[in-house]
Chains A and B, each alone.
Chain A
Amino acid sequence: MPSSALWAVDLFGRVCTLSTAAQHWELCRDAQLEFKRVSASAQCCWGIACDNRVYVRVDAGDVPIRRREEAYENQRWNPVGGFCETLLPSDRWPWSDVSGLQHRPLDGVALPSPHWEWESDWYVDENFGGEPTEKGGWTYAIDFPAAYTRDKKWNSCVRRRRWIRYRRYKSRDTWAQIPSQDDPKQLPDPFNDLSVGGWEITDEPVGHLSVWAVSLQGKVWYREDVSHPNPEGSSWSLVDTPGEVVQISCGPHDLLWATLWEGQALVREGISRNNPKGSSWSIVEPPTSENGIMHVSVGVSVLWAVTKDRKVWFRRGVNSHNPCGTSWIEMVGEMMMVDVGLNDQVWGISWADRALYFRQGVTQSELSGKTWKAIVASRECDRSHSGSSSSLLSAGCFFGDEVRGSGESCGPSDSEAERPGPDPERELQATSPASTPAELPWTNIDLKEPKRGPSHAAASFPEASDLSSLGLLPLGMEEPDGAECHPLWAWVSGGGCAVEAHTVLKWFTAQSGLSPSVQTLSLSITPAQTAAWRKQIFQQLTERTKRELENFRHYEQAVEQSVWVKTGALQWWCDWKPHRWVDVRVALERFTGQDGARDSILFVYYVVHEEKKYIHVFLNEVTALVPVLNEAKHSFALYTPERTRQRWPVRLAAATEQDMSDWLALLNLSCCESRRVHGRPSPQAIWSVTCKGDVFVSEPSPDLEAPERPLPCDQILHQSWAPTGKWGSRGCVRGLAGGPSGIYTQSDVKCVCIYENQRWNPVTGYTSRGLPTDRYMWSDATGLQECTKASTKPPSLQWTWVSDWFVDFSVPGGADQEGWQYASDFPASYHGYKTMKDFVRRRCWARKCKLVTSGPWLEVAPIALTDVSIIPEAPGAPGSEPSIALWAISDKGDVLCRLGVSELNPAGSSWLHVGTDQPFASVSIGACYQVWAVARDGSAFYRGSVSPSKPAGDCWYLIPSPPKQRLKQVSVGHTAVFALDENGNMWYRQGVTPSYPQGSGWEHVSNNVRRVSVGPLDQVWVIADKVQGSHGLSRGTVCHRTGVQPLEPKGLGWDYGIGGGWDHLSIRANATRAPRTPSQERGSDVAAAPQETPGPVCC
């Protein structure tokens, strides 16, 4: 799980964040500013500083926020000068936008604010729909506006070309000031409160945020056009209110509440995707008339409030359909304020001691939670001080002096001189006595500080004298108790903090109570992986086993493992025609063979013509056990080499999903046992992923001609996780040995979609009454299956719903304001607007579901990827590069290059964004740092000058696609480049030479290919789409290209391997060259073993 952070402001205006993975607060190091309020979302945090101005702080992330500016240069041909800028008077501007209506000279395009910078100068876009244009990017037409073509014809009278320039948001990880709304003619009306939300109203690509603010005069303002690509928004607009508003809270979805001076609450109604500002207000009375509402905070379907008597209230029945809710419930605790964050989790600041509390036990079924639990995480800076306490022992006097000095010097850095505030260092000492070992003498130094303290504090907070004295209490040092000396909080925002049921938070245990030695040695926390005693025990046990067993393996075992059996009833897809599911009894018998090895036999007993028969499978012959994607049955397939050859695995189905997974687990275990497969796969392993998301690993036999033998690893996820199969070829294998247990939590969210279909009739318009021949009115995408909201279930037992059904507007073809797509009839191509000829319409309803599982995969947060490629390289090659080149494509199509990936740190350190003019789909890096990529529009690119010292290269070269084909995947081996197009054709890049690595042309190799992986020996493996076998057709079959030789890189034919349901394959780690013995390999020269010479030498 990627970590996220809680934001809070302390009494001194300092902003701190507390990560869900951490135990300590981190100070937001932007020292100049002090804040009154913050409101966080996942990617950014908005705040009101003490200068009453609004600031936004955008998380840096690895992918920059960049926007493309474009302008068109238009020219007309005239007989004298040829094409020139002189246009006809009726023509468009010589420099215009795409429509030609707006004048747009290049030097007239300005940056919207000082927080943006240009990425480069203007340049001409040479890419025209995936095809490179010659002659400076010009496209030709008969006249404006018309269809433009790449080629100049006799009648081409006009031409135009597109100029591109990117601007980049630069003020990231720093507070960027938002211009205020002050009208110079009016009195200034600074902002008083602010709330960010609304990110769930629209879908992710937009990244819309609703930012609401309240001014001192009680007016409500809405910031227009705030979104991820435009973090500042454009302008403030005033929203009328029935009274003076004090405070406002905007939920992640469509809830917006505010409080009035008079103590009532205002609820905004009519907020929707098309109207994020909402339409009207309604008023909710406070729980008791004498104590009005002081503070509100909303989530997706909750509202928490604090009244003037500090009581906390929970509003029952609040949701999108009924934003006002039904009634108030009083909760325990007295709070200053409460804040609802992601997943409707709640934080509060207590009235009594200004401590921060987390509401425990908030779940979808129990939104009000169970108890308040204090967050006692210490501050990062406190820790560093106590950590250096040993040095302070000797330098105690120096330390004391330093504090005094800085106390005088750094106070005035505040913008408001009358609020100097105690300087951070003294505060640190004051609040962290417990984390310093009590016997240290420098506590004496600490004790003399408070003498200066009170005057400071009293001066700073005259209005809160009780609080300041409270704050000074720990300075006395009489009670070195962790709970007493926490920071005093003023504001908290959990809008960016994802806490879920399984999240383990370390916020609630103070580190101060335990001595450091216990912390490091406590076995349940850290198993002291590296301790010498532990290593020695491991080593001695291995030696003991060797000593006591090595020469005695032929001895009889004292305790025989008796045969044991699991039996059960399953269904079997019978071998004879007509093929159908027949009921069978199944028994697994485990026994100890002659040599002491365990093996198992699976018996399938069936009855044919009233005669009992059986088939049996030795599990040591089983090459793969695969759950099969089948809507109707919980089925799995069992492959043996013979069955693979026949394309006819043993297919079995269980009555329930649970039953199936039990059988699979048992068979898998027996299989691994009888084949003696354990531990992590070798670095040469071949990895693949099935369409169900199961990862398979196969140890390549030295000759590679043997039948495929994948064995199930751990089940992992579909969708965005599929690329981890490729990750595995290098990164995650090493991850296995990395952590204490090597097992990490993984989660995935995806949407299940169903369609609502309607037909038009002249009387009532569109209704859910279709023709008798029509599809179901609630169906899947094909219309063949009925799918209602009530009957549709998550993909499997492991998935759970995490949202309600919502209309999906981001459907291909577009949708209208209500999400409808129109067509003349089912099934047809749909468009997002209604015409006269449209008699049917449909809209897509989506519902998010989530899977949480664990496996030996370490998540590299936070960017979701769709493709990843690791440089193929012979393992253990001499002089291997310290960092391993890795390229990836994000789910938004950004090209990324991972820095700092090495054997020791397989996850790498950070992403480097590689700018492109369009979203990309596939990337692959070859052994000589040749990077090839395919854009979503089907065009291919070669990245120039990539090398270990210049990991991201310098520029893209557009490579023309094969004629009339759109490429979708590329794979580069040692030197060979193969690409796939959308029609399943596989192409080989000809003419690739060291001096011209782009090659000269595409040569067709094969059709019927779904996925290709080229290895470090230029060996070619693919997933074939359809393969005919002796019994039937299987889709998604692993195939190996035969006859690939240095002079015949395209190979000769296909060798069909295991099949049925495979989706993805990576052989990029397998550099095992068949006919060589290890000694030969070591002695071989460079030319004979090119895989052993990684590096930028050849191309």
Chain B
Amino acid sequence: MTDDKDVLRDVWFGRIPTCFTLYQDEITEREAEPYYLLLPRVSYLTLVTDKVKKHFQKVMRQEDISEIWFEYEGTPLKWHYPIGLLFDLLASSSALPWNITVHFKSFPEKDLLHCPSKDVIEAHFMSCVKEADALKHKSQVINEMQKKDHKQLWMGLQNDRFDQFWAINRKLMEYPAEENGFRYIPFRIYQTTTERPFIQKLFRPMAADGQLHTLGDLLKEVCPSAIAPEDGERKNQVMIHGIEPMLETPLQWLSEHLSYPDNFLHISIIPQPTD
């Protein structure tokens, strides 16, 4: 396995084994068994949890059911973050499976967006793709696509069809031969330790002298605290898709290969586990 294409495949088929348990205070008619599922890392919680919803609704009365939401160790899980990002950010150091608590009431309005239907997820996903392309190609590629291509991207994600998705997404990853990368790299850096939801800035794949920017360059520039070695020891892990790429990795390559389907590099900065 030495083909870059295999990386795309590995990223796409990343799965997190998850155990869903109903929140203890939810009222049930009989005992709710936990539900085990392999969640695709690149998808969204509310997109892939129909089965979970059905499973728990079976044991509940209709009147006790309002909008479903998820929580991990007290933190409500934002459905509009990709699952892999949520896991890396919040639970990467804990044991598998990932224990998620399912709620049907007391929707935390200030933490979460409502997700009344899949159309909302689609709208969110497509807006991310468009934003990413605005950064990468001044929106030229996404605007040249037809409606059905947009649909194919979404359907590919929704139905977990790698080939279907990449047949279109490939075009979003191209860049003119005379240039050596995208205009700007679409990325977001998340930290659990700050209040700020994420860092997103304009950052080019290449320095003015033609040198390719690396992951380390990016962090140094936009989030120096993440890598500044204090006491000579690294305090943080820099994680994408559950792996820690070397800081020497060229950013352009990362963007092409380790972006989520929404075309963003979602980078988690998490404190080094102390064990």
What 0/1 pattern do residues 34 to 75 of B give for CB contact below 8 A with A? 001111100100001101000000000000000000000000
| Stretch from A532-540, A602-610, A659-667, A924-932 that touches the partner | A532-540
- Is there contact, CB below 8 Å, between B17 and A548? yes
- Is B23 among interface residues, defined by CB-CB distance under 8 A? no
- Is A448 among interface residues, defined by CB-CB distance under 8 A? no
- Is B76 among interface residues, defined by CB-CB distance under 8 A? no
- Is there contact, CB below 8 Å, between A561 and B10? no
Given contacts A536-B246, A541-B243, A545-B14, contact A518 B180 (CB under 8 A): yes
Given contacts A544-B241, A555-B38, contact A537 B7 (CB under 8 A): yes
- Is there contact, CB below 8 Å, between A537 and B243? yes
- Is there contact, CB below 8 Å, between B250 and A523? yes
- Is A522 among interface residues, defined by CB-CB distance under 8 A? yes
Chain B: number of interface residues, binned into ranges:
35 or more
Main secondary structure, interface of B, reads loop
Considering the complex, which residues of chain A in the window 510-543 have a beta carbon less than 8 Å from any beta carbon of chain B? 514-515, 517-518, 521-524, 527-529, 531-534, 536-538, 540-543
A548 to B11, CA, bound (A): 13
- Is A737 among interface residues, defined by CB-CB distance under 8 A? yes
- CB B77 to nearest CB in A, in angstroms, measures 15
Which B residues lie within 8 Å of A790 (CB)?
none
- Is there contact, CB below 8 Å, between A555 and B36? yes
Chain A: number of interface residues, binned into ranges:
35 or more
- CB A397 to nearest CB in B, in angstroms, measures 29
Given contacts A556-B37, A737-B2, contact A544 B209 (CB under 8 A): no
Given contacts A532-B246, A538-B7, contact A547 B96 (CB under 8 A): yes
- CB B153 to nearest CB in A, in angstroms, measures 15
- Is B256 among interface residues, defined by CB-CB distance under 8 A? yes
A922 to B239, CA, bound (A): 58
Which B residues lie within 8 Å of A521 (CB)?
212, 250
- Is there contact, CB below 8 Å, between A517 and B51? no
- CB A754 to nearest CB in B, in angstroms, measures 42
A523 to B206, CA, bound (A): 12
- Is B119 among interface residues, defined by CB-CB distance under 8 A? no
Which A residues lie within 8 Å of B7 (CB)?
537-538, 541
- Is there contact, CB below 8 Å, between B209 and A555? no
- The residue that A544 contacts in the complex, of B181, B242, B249, with Cβ under 8 A, is B242
- Is there contact, CB below 8 Å, between B2 and A538? yes
- Is there contact, CB below 8 Å, between B211 and A548? no
Which A residues lie within 8 Å of B160 (CB)?
557, 559, 561
- Is there contact, CB below 8 Å, between A548 and B177? no
Which B residues lie within 8 Å of A517 (CB)?
210-212
A896 to B171, CA, bound (A): 47
- Is A352 among interface residues, defined by CB-CB distance under 8 A? no
- Is A147 among interface residues, defined by CB-CB distance under 8 A? no
- Is A365 among interface residues, defined by CB-CB distance under 8 A? no
A540 to B7, CA, bound (A): 11
- Is there contact, CB below 8 Å, between A522 and B37? no
What 0/1 pattern do residues 243 to 260 of B give for CB contact below 8 A with A? 111101110110011100
Which B residues lie within 8 Å of A515 (CB)?
209-211
- Is A1077 among interface residues, defined by CB-CB distance under 8 A? no
Interface centre among A515, A559, A561 (most CB of B within 10 A): A559
A517 to B209, CA, bound (A): 10
- CB A591 to nearest CB in B, in angstroms, measures 14
- Is there contact, CB below 8 Å, between A518 and B210? yes
Which A residues lie within 8 Å of B256 (CB)?
523
A547 to B15, CA, bound (A): 10
- The residue that B36 contacts in the complex, of A522, A556, A559, with Cβ under 8 A, is A556
- CB B117 to nearest CB in A, in angstroms, measures 17
Which residue of chain B has the shortest Cβ distance to A527 in the bound complex?
B4
- Is there contact, CB below 8 Å, between B39 and A536? no
- The residue that A556 contacts in the complex, of B13, B51, B209, B245, with Cβ under 8 A, is B51
- Is there contact, CB below 8 Å, between A557 and B10? no
Which B residues lie within 8 Å of A518 (CB)?
180, 206, 210-212
Which B residues lie within 8 Å of A514 (CB)?
210
- Is there contact, CB below 8 Å, between B48 and A558? yes
- A sample of 14 inter-chain contacts (CB < 8 A) reads A518-B180, A522-B180, A527-B253, A532-B248, A534-B249, A534-B253, A536-B246, A541-B7, A541-B241, A551-B17, A555-B38, A558-B48, A558-B49, A741-B3
Q: A536-B245, A558-B51 are in contact. List 16 more A-B contacts (CB 8 A).
A: A515-B209, A518-B180, A518-B211, A523-B212, A523-B252, A523-B253, A524-B177, A527-B253, A536-B246, A540-B243, A541-B7, A543-B243, A555-B17, A557-B37, A561-B159, A741-B3
**4 tightest CB-CB pairs across the interface, nearest first?**
A552-B17, A540-B243, A558-B48, A559-B160
